[in-house]
Structure 1
Amino acid sequence: MLMLPPGAFHLGIKRQCPWKKIKDRSAFFNYYRPGDYQITGIITTANSIFRPYDFYSSPSSNILVLEGTTFWNILPFLFAVREINEKPTLLANVTLGYNIYENHFNARITSEALVDLLSVGQQHVPNYLCGKQNGLSVVLEGADSEISNQISTILDIYKIPQVSYRVVSQIPKETHQYPFFYRAVPNQEPPYLGIVKLLLHFRWTWIGLLAPDNESGERFMSTFSAVITKNGICIAFSNKMPIGVFYRRTDSDLVSNLSSTEVNVVVCQIDSQTVLTLGLTIQRVGVIKKSPVGKVWIATALQDLTVRILFRMFDLQFTHVYLSFLIQTNKGTQYNDFETILINNDQLSKAAFRCFSPRDTLSVKVWNRCIEREKRENLPQDVIERILSQDSYSIYNAIQVVTQSLHAAHLSRSNWRKTMGGHSLAAQRIQPWQLHPFLKNVQYYNIAMNGVYLDENGELAADFHIVNWLMFPNKSTAGVEVGRIERRDSPEIKVTVDENAIGWSSWFNQTMPFSRCTKSCHPGHVKLVKEGEPACCYGCAPCAGGTISTQE
């Protein structure tokens, strides 16, 4: 029995709740197109500074967006869904929609997006349907491993499929831990042994390593280090880059390592989240040394859009050489005027959506809703090809894979075209958990992609182009193919390189740079291992009497 103190119902006292909702001033956008089935996207494109909780003011998620390409990852949803809805043979009598959230590489915002997704209506309360269905079918995401695991933890409760359109990991995801996680694309990092063969081709045996300070970076450091040391390549230095915050303080060790002229090659794992840190660090090295210090950067999975943002933000034209690896595909895109394409992309996206801020509710977060306009101009296919980079085509292909799964699920039900008991087709809706048997065959839908095949473990795999990124005086960029890493139909990894196609920077006098701890011993000399030094840092001594050296 609830006991109230005397006078609690005194008519002269008026009680009011002192809590007041403070609406965030930051722009958290949710892009939406209605449909019978909804594909939800959790996109991670914008680097931001978050104000920490201080417990002296009401909690807020006000942020400062530093650099982002949000619209670049929204348009693939718009193009793919429009194309699918115009093909009645795929999803007959039903429509496909999308529901996209930007999480700013932040775990807190990711959780808020998932709670908003699982809630119906304006109230931020999951697990209540209130007579309305949101049509959720799958969640597409391209997050790093930590946030991707967080998404899996929440979605697994509801058995909602999670499809990744960006996989950068040499270690397969544990299916017993995350049984509802699916890959729609092959691993976007080449085999580490292929990178080793590239290094040995140029005789670069004294290198630096650079990776994000997160789980993915830690895994890269440990795994790749073991592979290269086993093949006679030595690590001069290894550093981790901070992520998720603005790079206010320069890492003195990293600046010192990058200032060295003896280590001319750095193998790095970077993405759109750490590209700003890398650019600022390179810039800082030039300021401290009073002149740029050139390097050959070999990025394990540098996205084409990311490198163009790097070149757009920093002047790296004549000092550095950038090599990366892209999956072989017919969809490669080159931009003669990236700045114009970026502006057109932004204008097209803003014109395609009608955004508004909903009324205040007792929810944790108020998202700005952007609904796709029904009437809009259809773009020519060549314009779409120019807008979509290879990064965006990963999203585009993932949506196609999900659609094939939905199509297969409908075909498997003999009575899906019929109404039951006078009910509409909505009663026959495919539930998210019913898609799992079909998404498990996702690789067979995607096998038709150019260059994609199944490896010896039955996983999606692909061959890679080795790409040299060039920037021109007018700020335009181009990725030039200079080699390939191939392993299809072969037990060994094959690496081919066209040295003459690489644009060596003026810092290296347009010639291939040297990156070894010790120069080769001259004829008549033998290597001497130095105690306490890496194997690559050997000495040279004359051969003993009566002996000769047979190789360099």
Structure 2
Amino acid sequence: MQKREFAIKMLLLLLPLLPNLVSQVQSVKCTTNNPVHVQYEWHETGDLVIGAMVSHLYYIVPELFFKKHPSQVVIDTPLVVTKFYQHILALVFAIDEINENPRMLPNVSLGFHIYDSYYDSKITYQNTLDLIFKSHHFVPNYRCGIQKNVIGIIGGLSSDTSWCMANILGLFKIPQISYGSFEPAINDGTKIPSFYRMVPNEDLQYRGIILLLLHFGWKWVGLITPANEAGERFLQTIEKLFFQNGICSAFTERVEFNLNYKSNKLEMIDKRVLFSTLTSYKANAVLVYGESRFIIWLSNILSLMEFTQLLFPREKSHEGKVWITTAQIDFILDSLQKIIDINIRMYHGAISFAIHFKEIHSFKDFLQSIRPHWTDTDGFIKDFWEDAFSCSLSNATLSTNMCTGEEMLESLLAPYFEMSMTGHSYNIYNAVYALAHALNSKHLGRTIHKGREAMEKISPQYVEPWQLHSFLQRISFNNSAGDEIALNENGELAVGLDITNLVTFPNRSYIRVKVGRLDPQAPPGKELTINEDRIKWHRAFTQFCCYDCDPCPEGMISNEKDMETCVSCPADQYPNNDQDLCIPKIPNFLSFDETLAIVSTSSALLFSLITILVLGIFIKHRNTAIVKANNRSLTYVLLISLLLCFLSSLLFIGKPNKVTCLLRQNAFGIVFSVALSSILAKTILVVLAFMATKPGTNIRKWVGKELAYSIVFSSSIVQVGICVLWLATSPPFPDVDMHSVMGEIIFLCNEGSVLIFYCVLGYMGFQATVSFTVAFVARKLPDTFNEAKFITFSMLVFCSVWLSFIPTYLSTRGKYMVAVEIFSIFASGAGLLACIFAPKCYIIVVRPDLNKREQLAQRKV
């Protein structure tokens, strides 16, 4: 455990320290007089030459900025994907077999020229041109020096590399056979007829993915793809198929996985994004699409997650996830990950689509014979050997030992090299034989055409690459492993895919176990076969399941487990807490037996009794000075209006019906409007009474009961008109709301026209504003019993209550909305009653000595 923790910590510590790998290399100008020496190539001469473009090495390059001249700094020593050295050896092995076979291409030797793409499009273009034209000098469209006689080129591993090569080779009609590209866009028979590939169409893999997920019942799947054109094409296709088959994507991550230097620090783009995604989602099945090098990047992320799990045990980790990978991906680690001790065991139990392959007789013996000095022309073996065995072939240092040259390839772990032929190596082997059989078919056809029985030597000078297309398009042969190799009309290998299970071991190695087969020739429904007994799942599985069910959306239920869809409850029912049963909704209205209704009813009766008591006091003392001075008639009208306001609140209690719905808002609006009209009339009369005392004025004749009644009537009739219009056009009516509150049916009065309802409130607000303005102006007039100052304060209370009412009313539902309006009626009515009448009742009841005409005369200012 301590060793593993130390290794993971080293991963985090070494990443920012990698700039010591960077060295300065002078750029080389390529001219015909100054030949370019390519270090990483392997060239063996022959009568005819087969070219190849492999992906074995890659560089970490510095980030370029436009503020200064592009940097010439590169890493002098590339990172080596040691496992892919087998691709090179597979090609050499196949050519050696053909040269030693007297029945294949008699009297003709095959040579080869192998370049590396470095996973870089610019270098791929250059090296493709080198394969065609360069011997000692590079002159496009000219063959200078030794004739190479390239009759076909094998490559590349990825669709990007294959596409770059096809752009050039298609112009010269040179056969190109890709050994790893699945992308359909590359294979366009009308656009690039010289392109062939030793893999099936990618549509087969899409179909296989769906069949695999449905077989295991995995319908909650995460998707991880590279952020490029191929990744987008994959997502567009697979997500459509997911939808058609009832499979959901838990998350979709498009990631950049290139390594770049930035400010002398090695950065893995988007590592935090993917880390957060993998630890946040419940989906345990994760489908990974991309090329093999993506696994290098993903391994770093998973190692970081594992380290986080050690530090924070409660954090979710990647354990328990099933990794599903496409056939383009091989489980590899590079030389850098070997140094920092990345372990492949995190992929234990992974299910992979794999290129079909069989063991080739004597290939393992061939690998066992490989030694670092077995040939002088292999430009790849030095870096491979030193990285694979952590030694030096040239000089030892403090960190490395000298290589003995007797190290054995079979001692290497599977992530770095396999002794069994991999799927990509198998494709290269078959591609070499396809070119050889095409040459053989051309030679036999020429011999038969001449009518000669003896085998004739092929003349290299008469062999043109374009002549092989007619033979490759109908190629069909059995290889040494017994597999039939045949291309269909699209230049694709007519073969299925294997399903493999990755089984890892404590020593950081693994084996790939074939657990199934995807056969496009099988009858419908039987294309996929899986032997579940051979599958070794991740050790974190106790009860295997690759997805967690999400709860149904609010308002829906599922009465069975693992259902794909949820169902809605009837309108009058709602789901229980477990969302597996619908239960009746509870009625919601302010019934008389509820505490809130009892308090409201008691308050209405209490305020009504207080109002009646005040009215009785004023009637009993109607002939006293204070009652006469404040206009008895308007006082009675105001008190009766307040009484009706308090009683109108009772219409809001109980289950709404047609009568209460028609009356509640209209009655409330009219009686409050009458009350406000009375207050306005009282205020205006105070102002006119003061103005009438001035000499020479004619206003005295206007002061009287007729004016007061006119003000009350004219001001109230407007509100009455609004309410009549409301009842005539869109009256309120009983209604139910089944959706606003979960589990409840709200019985309410639908206001009919919301606009008119707010017009009623708005007109009350207008009345209150006018009354407040007039009262505020008259509050300091010299009158002993001037009530304008009390009206001013009462209007402040009234306006505050109803301004607060509107947002509160709109934010509540059901019986609490009704309670808000009842409270507003009580608060505003009680405010008017207390502010206007409390001081007068105090004088009438407690200080009757001040309620005299003599006191009025003495206290006038």
The answer to whether the superposition gives a TM-score over 0.5 is yes
Look up the SS of the partner of 1:505 in the other structure.
coil
| Equivalent runs, 1:66-215 vs 2, <5 Å | 66-69=79-82, 70-130=84-144, 132-169=146-183, 173-187=187-201, 190-215=204-229
Whole-angstrom distance in 1 between the partners of 2:136 and 2:71: 21
> What is the letter of the counterpart of residue 322 of structure 1?
A
| 1:309–1:168 Cα change, 3 Å | farther
Q: 1:297 aligns with which of 315, 319, 323?
A: 323
Offset at residue 85 of structure 1 (A): 0.5
| 1:390–1:39 Cα change, 3 Å | same
> What is the letter of the counterpart of residue 547 of structure 2?
S
> What is the letter of the counterpart of residue 119 of structure 2?
F
Do the aligned residues in 2 keep the contact of 1:48 with 1:65 (CA within 8 Å)?
yes
| 1:472–1:89 Cα change, 3 Å | same
Do the aligned residues in 2 keep the contact of 1:50 with 1:64 (CA within 8 Å)?
no
| 1:525–1:271 Cα change, 3 Å | closer
- Aligned partner of 2:433 in structure 1 is 400
Do the aligned residues in 2 keep the contact of 1:317 with 1:472 (CA within 8 Å)?
yes
- Aligned partner of 1:439 in structure 2 is 472
Please, which moves more after superposition, 111-120 or 232-241? 111-120
Whole-angstrom distance in 2 between the partners of 1:198 and 1:453: 26
Q: 1:255 aligns with which of 263, 268, 275?
A: 275
Whole-angstrom distance in 2 between the partners of 1:434 and 1:293: 53
- Aligned partner of 2:373 in structure 1 is 351
Whole-angstrom distance in 2 between the partners of 1:24 and 1:250: 41
- Aligned partner of 1:550 in structure 2 is none
- Aligned partner of 2:695 in structure 1 is none
Unaligned 5+ runs, structure 1: 1-18, 334-340, 358-376, 419-423, 531-538, 546-552
Offset at residue 465 of structure 1 (A): 2.9
Whole-angstrom distance in 2 between the partners of 1:434 and 1:238: 46
Look up the SS of the partner of 1:157 in the other structure.
coil
Are 1:315 and 2:335 counterparts?
no
Look up the SS of the partner of 1:147 in the other structure.
helix
Offset at residue 316 of structure 1 (A): 4.7
Do the aligned residues in 2 keep the contact of 1:188 with 1:327 (CA within 8 Å)?
no
Do the aligned residues in 1 keep the contact of 2:199 with 2:355 (CA within 8 Å)?
no
| 1:447–1:426 Cα change, 3 Å | closer
Look up the SS of the partner of 2:182 in the other structure.
coil
Do the aligned residues in 2 keep the contact of 1:319 with 1:507 (CA within 8 Å)?
no
> What is the letter of the counterpart of residue 293 of structure 1?
H
- Aligned partner of 1:278 in structure 2 is 298
- Aligned partner of 2:4 in structure 1 is none
| Equivalent runs, 1:15-30 vs 2, <5 Å | 28-30=39-41
Q: 1:483 aligns with which of 502, 516, 532?
A: 516
Look up the SS of the partner of 1:388 in the other structure.
coil
> What is the letter of the counterpart of residue 414 of structure 1?
T
* Structure ranking higher on relative contact order (CA contacts 8 Å, 6+ apart): 1
Offset at residue 458 of structure 1 (A): 8.8
Do the aligned residues in 1 keep the contact of 2:87 with 2:428 (CA within 8 Å)?
yes
Whole-angstrom distance in 2 between the partners of 1:259 and 1:351: 48
Look up the SS of the partner of 2:196 in the other structure.
strand
Offset at residue 24 of structure 1 (A): 13
Offset at residue 27 of structure 1 (A): 7.4
Do the aligned residues in 1 keep the contact of 2:98 with 2:104 (CA within 8 Å)?
yes
Whole-angstrom distance in 2 between the partners of 1:524 and 1:72: 49
> What is the letter of the counterpart of residue 35 of structure 1?
G
Summarize deviations over 1:12-33 as a string: whole Å, max 9, x none: xxxxxxx985999997411011
Alpha-carbon RMSD? 4.2
> What is the letter of the counterpart of residue 351 of structure 1?
H
Q: How many residues align?
A: 481
Offset at residue 118 of structure 1 (A): 2.9
Offset at residue 432 of structure 1 (A): 1.0
Offset at residue 226 of structure 1 (A): 0.8
Do the aligned residues in 2 keep the contact of 1:452 with 1:463 (CA within 8 Å)?
no
Offset at residue 528 of structure 1 (A): 3.2
> What is the letter of the counterpart of residue 359 of structure 2?
K
- Aligned partner of 2:806 in structure 1 is none
- Aligned partner of 1:528 in structure 2 is 566
Q: 2:496 aligns with which of 459, 463, 478?
A: 463
| 1:256–1:474 Cα change, 3 Å | same
Please, which moves more after superposition, 394-403 or 480-489? 480-489
Offset at residue 279 of structure 1 (A): 0.6
| 1:505–1:432 Cα change, 3 Å | same
Summarize deviations over 1:167-198 as a string: whole Å, max 9, x none: 32356711111111112343478532322222
Whole-angstrom distance in 2 between the partners of 1:456 and 1:26: 40
Whole-angstrom distance in 1 between the partners of 2:431 and 2:101: 17
Do the aligned residues in 2 keep the contact of 1:85 with 1:95 (CA within 8 Å)?
yes
Pick the structure with more strand per residue.
1
| Equivalent runs, 1:234-253 vs 2, <5 Å | 234-246=248-260, 247-253=267-273
Whole-angstrom distance in 1 between the partners of 2:511 and 2:491: 34
TM-score under structure 1 length normalisation:
0.75
Do the aligned residues in 2 keep the contact of 1:53 with 1:59 (CA within 8 Å)?
no
Summarize deviations over 1:467-520 as a string: whole Å, max 9, x none: 1101111233111233333332423453333334322223223x3134034279
Offset at residue 390 of structure 1 (A): 2.8
Summarize deviations over 1:114-170 as a string: whole Å, max 9, x none: 232233432222222346421111111023223322211111222211111123235
Look up the SS of the partner of 1:122 in the other structure.
coil
Do the aligned residues in 2 keep the contact of 1:33 with 1:98 (CA within 8 Å)?
yes
Please, which moves more after superposition, 385-394 or 39-48? 385-394
Whole-angstrom distance in 2 between the partners of 1:525 and 1:64: 53
Whole-angstrom distance in 1 between the partners of 2:284 and 2:78: 33
| 1:508–1:280 Cα change, 3 Å | same
| 1:456–1:262 Cα change, 3 Å | farther
Whole-angstrom distance in 2 between the partners of 1:428 and 1:504: 57
Pick the structure with more helix per residue.
2
Q: Report sequence identity in percent.
A: 31
Do the aligned residues in 2 keep the contact of 1:142 with 1:164 (CA within 8 Å)?
yes
TM-score under structure 2 length normalisation:
0.50
Do the aligned residues in 2 keep the contact of 1:168 with 1:189 (CA within 8 Å)?
no
> What is the letter of the counterpart of residue 324 of structure 1?
S
Look up the SS of the partner of 1:506 in the other structure.
coil
Unaligned 5+ runs, structure 2: 1-26, 261-266, 380-405, 409-416, 452-456, 553-557, 569-577, 585-861
> What is the letter of the counterpart of residue 209 of structure 1?
L
Whole-angstrom distance in 1 between the partners of 2:515 and 2:143: 55
Summarize deviations over 1:429-477 as a string: whole Å, max 9, x none: 3111111111112356779963767789895332333211011112331
Whole-angstrom distance in 1 between the partners of 2:235 and 2:325: 13
Please, which moves more after superposition, 71-80 or 409-418? 409-418
Do the aligned residues in 2 keep the contact of 1:410 with 1:430 (CA within 8 Å)?
no
Whole-angstrom distance in 1 between the partners of 2:237 and 2:93: 38
Summarize deviations over 1:213-250 as a string: whole Å, max 9, x none: 22222211111111112100111111123244355344
Whole-angstrom distance in 1 between the partners of 2:36 and 2:259: 19
Query: Quick check: which has more Rg, 1 or 2?
Result: 2
Look up the SS of the partner of 1:508 in the other structure.
coil
Q: 2:284 aligns with which of 258, 264, 283?
A: 264
Q: 2:51 aligns with which of 37, 40, 51?
A: 40
Offset at residue 76 of structure 1 (A): 0.9
Q: 2:547 aligns with which of 503, 515, 531?
A: 515
> What is the letter of the counterpart of residue 49 of structure 1?
I
Do the aligned residues in 2 keep the contact of 1:469 with 1:480 (CA within 8 Å)?
yes
| 1:45–1:222 Cα change, 3 Å | farther
